[in-house]
């Protein structure tokens, strides 16, 4: 008769406790809340899943017991406070903060709970409780291995017993073992997303994939995206959405760099539901290209667009950067005052988004309603000198696309 497995000892710290913890990234000390604990009976060691106070959940991580420092002094880097001051004191300057500084500032943003109504807030807290611990720590897709940021609801049989998933970059099928991926690659029939190529410029292409026609691919895409998007709730009901996958093409195929999705029928005129640039391709300009592409589609639909709310911290930074760039360039080429409606007509950017951006640029005051932008040559010239030129932009002449409703109207008329 086998001996019963001994119970693990009591953990030295409890779930919910707050202690100074040594951050794995740079050994600095931050106050953190213990979210979960786990005991390794072979090494007789505890590890703890912690959330760093005032930092985004994507930095939550497992740490060994030795990283918990009850007697240490917490000293948040002074740069974090100065970053917030800089970001709010001079929102007009894109060069005030380096890219790395912007990223740090975004990571240290407080929760967006204050933007939510009570019912949504309750759902948000429930979501955070259900997804509080990452179930996958790392993925391999193509030649890139990357750490994940958030929980994603992959099937339990897939994530059980592993910290890493292997994903085919062409069909997005996910596997537990590298050997399974190597076998799959030999028989995978895809070399690009399973949809229509609607844009090509040199080695950059965009494919439109219909969620109703390619359910498995789009569901796999959503599960992949959830690893890097905290508030994404669309996983399996992909039928009402179109997905636009941006790829970099070479002789081996079309490699995904990012995507956005949009509803086929949006009552709020959202031109974008979710957007993601894979972490291995971030800070290369793809995020701005995806945003720009969504607005080019809005122009072709003859509609005004705006992204679905709430925006994530990085999402808001990306959109504000794009809106500033577009508006500053337009105003720089204007020799007189211009109305807000004229800017809406030229850009397909929503009136409220234009006003908010111009207020951040200090080209408008804090009133809620505006009709026109006064001519401010010196201020606009100074702002124009601060923005970074773009090496790549979307060429509207190379978009081959018919809006979804026009396609279906045409099909309906042919079937009559």
Model confidence pLDDT, tens digit, residues 185-199: 999 999 999 999 999
Structure tokens at 318: 């990306």
What's the confidence (pLDDT) of residue 86? 33
Model confidence pLDDT, tens digit, residues 240-299: 999 999 999 999 999 999 999 999 999 999 999 999 999 999 999 999 999 999 999 999
165 within 8 A of 174, measured Cβ to Cβ: yes
Catalytic residue among 53, 138, 308, 360: 308
pLDDT mean values, one per 10 residues, the chain (416 residues): 73 94 88 94 92 90 94 64 35 40 46 56 61 92 96 94 96 97 96 98 98 97 94 79 98 97 94 96 95 98 94 88 96 89 97 95 79 87 89 95 85 52
Structure tokens at 259: 């995507």
Q: What Rg value do the Cα atoms of the chain yield, rounded?
A: 24
Identify the CA nearest to 222 among candidates 163, 150, 297, 309.
150
154 within 8 A of 135, measured Cβ to Cβ: yes
Q: Could you tell me the sign of the dihedral formed by the alpha carbons of 92, 93, 98, 99, in that order? A: positive
398 within 8 A of 200, measured Cβ to Cβ: yes
Structure tokens at 47: 């590890």
Residue 406 falls in the annotated catalytic set: no
- β-pairing, 306-307 vs 270-272, is parallel
Verify cis geometry, omega within 30 degrees of 0, for the bond prior to 310: yes
Phi, psi of 71 (to 5 degrees): -100, 0
C-beta atoms surrounding 307 within 10 Å: 22
104 within 8 A of 60, measured Cβ to Cβ: no
């Amino acid at each position: 008769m086998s001996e019963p497995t001994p119970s693990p000892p009591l953990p030295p710290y409890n779930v919910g406790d707050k202690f100074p913890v040594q951050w794995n990234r740079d050994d600095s000390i931050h106050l953190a809340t213990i979210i979960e604990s786990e005991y390794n009976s072979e090494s007789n060691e505890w590890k703890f899943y912690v959330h760093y106070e005032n930092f985004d959940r994507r930095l939550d991580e497992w740490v060994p017991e030795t990283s918990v420092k009850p007697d240490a002094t917490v000293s948040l880097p002074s740069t974090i406070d100065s970053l917030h001051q800089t970001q709010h004191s001079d929102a007009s300057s894109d060069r005030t903060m380096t890219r790395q500084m912007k990223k740090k500032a975004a990571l240290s943003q407080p929760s967006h709970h204050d933007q939510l109504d009570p019912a949504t807030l309750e759902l948000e807290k429930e979501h955070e409780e259900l997804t509080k611990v990452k179930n996958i720590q790392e993925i391999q897709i193509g030649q890139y291995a990357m750490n994940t940021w958030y929980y994603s609801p992959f099937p339990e049989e897939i994530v059980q017993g592993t910290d890493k998933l292997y994903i085919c970059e062409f069909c997005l099928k996910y596997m537990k073992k590298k050997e399974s991926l190597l076998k799959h690659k030999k028989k995978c029939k895809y070399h690009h997303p399973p949809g229509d190529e609607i844009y090509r410029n040199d080695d950059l292409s965009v494919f439109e994939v219909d969620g109703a026609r390619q359910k498995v691919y789009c569901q796999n895409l959503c599960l992949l995206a959830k690893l890097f998007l905290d508030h994404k709730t669309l996983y399996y009901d992909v039928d009402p959405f179109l997905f636009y996958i941006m790829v970099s093409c070479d002789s081996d195929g079309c490699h995904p760099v990012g995507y956005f999705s949009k509803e086929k029928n949006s009552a709020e005129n959202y031109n974008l539901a979710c957007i993601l640039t894979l972490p291995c391709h971030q800070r290369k300009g793809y995020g701005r290209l995806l945003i720009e592409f969504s607005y080019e589609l809005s122009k072709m639909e003859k509609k005004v667009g705006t992204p679905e709310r709430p925006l994530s911290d990085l999402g808001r930074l990306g959109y504000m950067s794009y809106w500033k760039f577009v508006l500053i360039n337009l105003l720089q080429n204007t020799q007189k005052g211009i109305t807000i409606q004229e800017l809406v007509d030229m850009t397909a950017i929503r009136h409220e988004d234009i006003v908010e951006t111009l207020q951040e640029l200090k080209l408008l005051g804090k009133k809620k309603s505006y009709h026109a932008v006064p001519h401010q040559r010196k201020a606009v010239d100074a702002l124009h000198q601060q923005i970074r030129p773009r090496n790549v932009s979307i060429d509207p002449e190379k978009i081959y696309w018919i809006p979804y409703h026009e396609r279906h109207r045409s099909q309906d008329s042919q079937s009559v």
